[in-house]
């Protein structure tokens, strides 16, 4: 699912090597959206595709109307001072490639 919230960068200095994260690890990232609101997300995994790093997250808190977890794929970019930021994938073709890559990784890991 494409994220429509346009969650923009939050500096995150922790090095993460694994593609998938065990639920017991409970890695939570706090991201800041365009309106300045901080939102907590569970980090589910990360992967590289065509030289870019992507992270897959889902909101820690969901509204009562949400029965289903929404997965969000964010692109990791580096700022001027080498800080990390996670941004929406704005190009539809890039988003489709990232979503397909995540699905393949997920299927191969959990089948």
Mean pLDDT, 10 residues at a time, over the chain (111 residues)? 37 39 74 90 92 94 70 93 92 95 86 68
pLDDT at 7: 37
Q: Give the separation between CA 49 and CA 46, rounded to whole angstroms.
A: 10
pLDDT at 20: 52
pLDDT at 21: 55
Radius of gyration of the chain (CA): 14
pLDDT at 52: 95
Q: Give the CA count within 13 Å in the CB-facing half-sphere of 87.
A: 11
pLDDT at 110: 74
pLDDT at 86: 92
């Amino acid at each position: 699912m494409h994220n429509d919230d346009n969650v923009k960068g939050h500096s995150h200095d922790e090095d993460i090597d694994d593609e998938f994260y065990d639920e017991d690890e409970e890695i939570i990232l706090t991201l800041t959206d365009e309106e300045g609101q901080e939102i907590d997300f569970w980090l589910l995994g990360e992967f590289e595709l065509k030289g870019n790093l992507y992270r897959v997250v889902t909101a820690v808190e969901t509204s009562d109307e949400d029965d289903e977890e929404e997965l969000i794929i964010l692109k990791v970019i580096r700022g001027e001072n080498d800080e990390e930021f996670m941004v929406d994938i704005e190009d539809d073709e890039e988003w489709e490639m990232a979503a397909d890559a995540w699905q393949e990784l997920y299927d191969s890991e959990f089948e």
